[in-house]
Amino acid sequence: AVVSTQSTGSDSLAVLCSYGDIFIESLCKDASKGHGVTKILAFSLLSIILGADTYQNWLKHLNSKGYLKHFIESINTDNQNLLMGLSSDNIKPLFIYEAKLAFLAQIAQTEAGATTLLEAGIIPRLSELTILHQLPVSSELYKQHLLVQPVFTLLTSLLTSLGSKHVVANRQASHLVCVHSELIASIVKSSPGEERSKQDYQDLCVVTSLLAWLRAHQHDLHDEDVAVSIQLQSTSTQLQRHLINLLHSLQLPGKCASADTDLEVQTIKLQIITNVVTYCVSAMGNSNVIHAVFSPELGTKKGNNLNLLIGLLQKGLEASSHHSDAYSQLIHKALHVNQLSTEEQRELASCIAPDTDKCSAVQRAKYAELRLEQLADTKDKELSLYTQLIENLVYLLWRHVQYYTVYCKDPTEGVGGEPLPKKLLSANQDYIKNLTRELPLHLTDPLLKKIVDFCSSKSSASMTSSFTSALVRRVRKLMTA
C-alpha cells in the first residue's frame, strides 16, 4: 500500500510537470498575486515540484523569469503584513509567510539553489525582518514558533548546502545573528526548572545548530570593519554563556521513551546538547591559541567546569548503552515480526494505519514491520548523535586538561613551542594543583575503558575509534605525568 501511494505520487507529479512552462507560470502567478489560501497552496506545490526537479530546470526557469527574485524581495511586504496581522486576529499572513520560507528552504537544499538564493539577497532580506523583534506575548507562543522556525531552518539549509568555505554566506549569516541577537538570546536562555514545549525545543535545536556552524567557521571571517568585528565578538560572548548554561538545564535522555511525542522530544534534546558541545569545541580555538571554555574545578556541580563535562560523558555513555540495546531489540523484532503476538502487532501497526481491525493478518504484520523499522532508524540516528557527542566531550577534556596541566602550569611551555600570552595564564594555580590530584578519581580506568569500548563498537563514518582511543591515551599520560 505504501509503495502504491509513492508510485501514485510520482505519477501525479510527472503529469503535472508535463504541462510545462504554462503550468509553472500559473503557479508562480498564484503564489505572487493570488488570495491567501491560493498562495499557500501554490507555494506548497512549487516546493514539491522543485524538490523532485533533479536537473533543476524549474529552478532555472523561476530565476530567469524573475519570480525567485520577486519572492525574496516580497519578504519586506510580508514583514508589514505580519506586523498588521499579529496586532489583530488575522493569522493568514503568518501562514503565507511560513509557506513561502518553506518553499525557499526547499530550494536551499541543493548547492545550485542555495547559490541562487544567496545571489538574490536572501540573507539581507531575512536580516531586515523587524517582525522578529516584535514577537507575540507568551500566551501566543505558537505564533513565535511559526515566525522563528522557518527563518533559521532556511538559513541552516542554505549554509549547509554552500559548504564551510563560503565566506560571503558565513559573513552575512553572522551579521544576521548580530541583528537578531536579542531574539536568539531569548530562545537559548534557560532558567532553572523551566518547562519548554516541543515547539520551544524545535526552535532551540535549529538555532543551536546554526550557532555551532557559524562558530566553527568564525575564524575564516576577517572583517575589515572594526566596529563589525567588535559587535560579532560581543554577540558571540553573550550567546556562548547562554549556550553553556543549557548543558546544566537540559538532561540527556535516560531510558527509552515510549510515546511518539516523547521520542521526538528526546531526540531533539540530544541534538541540542550535541550542538552546544560542538560549539564549545570550536570556541576553544585552533592549535595556535587556546581559549579555555570550562574552568578546572572538579569538586562542584555548579558552574561551567570540567566536572560538567565528565558528568555529561558518564551520562552519555550510560544512555547510549540503553539505546544500543533498544536498537538491537527493534532490529530483532523487525526480522521476526511474525513471532510477535497479535496484540503487539496491532499496537505497532496502529501507528501506520489507525484502522487496523480492517487489515488482514499479512497487512498488519507488514505495518508492524514498517513501524519497527522507523523506530530502529530513530534509534540509529540517536546512537550517531551519542557517538558525535562522546567524541567531542573526550576531545574537550583532553584539550582542557592539557591546557591547565601543561601550559598554565609552565608558562614557558607555550602552544606550538611559543610562550603563552599572560592573559591566557589566568587560571588559579590552586585549582590546577587540585585538578592534577583529583582528576584520576573522576576519570577512572573503568570510565576510560568504557569510552574506548563504546567507540570501538561503532562503525559510524563521523568518528574513528582510533582517534578517540588516542585521545584517551593522551589523557592517561597527562594524569600520570
What pLDDT was estimated at residue 398? 93
What number is the average pLDDT over the span 155-163?
93
| pLDDT for residue 164 is more than 90 | no
Phi and psi (nearest 5°) for 295? -75, 165
What pLDDT was estimated at residue 11? 64
Task: Specify the 3-state DSSP secondary structure of 203.
Answer: helix
Joined together, the cell numbers standing for residue 279 give 560549539
Task: Specify the 3-state DSSP secondary structure of 419.
Answer: coil
What pLDDT was estimated at residue 290? 76
* Cα–Cα–Cα angle for 162, 380, 318, rounded to 5 degrees: 115
For the chain, the first-to-last Cα distance in angstroms comes to 64
Phi and psi (nearest 5°) for 427? -65, 140
Q: Which amino acid is at 271?
A: Q
Joined together, the cell numbers standing for residue 339 give 513471532
Rounded Cα distance between 471 and 452, Å, is 10
Task: Report whether 280 contacts 396 (CB < 8 A).
Answer: yes
What pLDDT was estimated at residue 285? 81
What pLDDT was estimated at residue 188? 92
Rounded Cα distance between 481 and 478, Å, is 5
What number is the average pLDDT over the span 401-421?
62
Minimum mean pLDDT range among 50-59, 79-88, 208-217, 247-256: 247-256
β-partners of residue 305 are 295
Q: Provide the pLDDT confidence category of residue 54 given band limits of 50, 70 and 90.
A: confident
| pLDDT for residue 186 is more than 60 | yes
Task: Report whether 245 contacts 190 (CB < 8 A).
Answer: yes
Cell numbers 522530544 correspond to 265
What number is the average pLDDT over the span 405-424?
55
CA 328, distance to chain mean position in Å, is 26
What pLDDT was estimated at residue 385? 92
| pLDDT for residue 39 is more than 70 | yes
| pLDDT for residue 8 is more than 70 | no
Residue with more model confidence, 231 or 35: 35
Residue with more model confidence, 302 or 42: 42
Within a 10 A sphere around the Cβ of 193, how many other Cβ atoms? 6
What pLDDT was estimated at residue 124? 95
What does the pLDDT look like over 198-219, one tens digit per residue?
899 999 999 999 999 999 887 6
What number is the average pLDDT over the span 48-71?
88
Within a 10 A sphere around the Cβ of 448, how many other Cβ atoms? 18
Q: Provide the pLDDT confidence category of residue 461 given band limits of 50, 70 and 90.
A: very low
What number is the average pLDDT over the span 145-163?
93
Phi and psi (nearest 5°) for 305? -130, 180
What pLDDT was estimated at residue 133? 81
| pLDDT for residue 155 is more than 80 | yes
Task: Specify the 3-state DSSP secondary structure of 66.
Answer: coil
What does the pLDDT look like over 284-337, one tens digit per residue?
887 666 788 998 888 777 888 999 999 999 999 999 888 888 999 999 999 999
Give the predicted TM-score (pTM) of the model: 0.87
What number is the average pLDDT over the span 56-64?
89
Rounded Cα distance between 158 and 198, Å, is 24
Going through 283-350 in order, the beta strands assigned E by DSSP cover none
Residue with more model confidence, 19 or 270: 270
Task: Specify the 3-state DSSP secondary structure of 444.
Answer: coil
Q: Is 304 left (phi over 0), alpha (psi -120 to 50) or beta?
A: beta
Tell me what percent of the residues of the chain surpass a pLDDT of 70: 84
Cell numbers 546544566 correspond to 248
What number is the average pLDDT over the span 139-143?
67
| pLDDT for residue 458 is more than 70 | no
Q: Provide the pLDDT confidence category of residue 409 given band limits of 50, 70 and 90.
A: low
What does the pLDDT look like over 365-400, one tens digit per residue?
999 999 999 999 989 999 999 999 999 999 999 999
Q: Provide the pLDDT confidence category of residue 234 given band limits of 50, 70 and 90.
A: confident
Joined together, the cell numbers standing for residue 347 give 499496537
What pLDDT was estimated at residue 370? 93
What pLDDT was estimated at residue 418? 40
Minimum mean pLDDT range among 27-31, 226-230, 341-345: 226-230
Mean per-residue pLDDT of the chain: 84
Cell numbers 522557518 correspond to 150
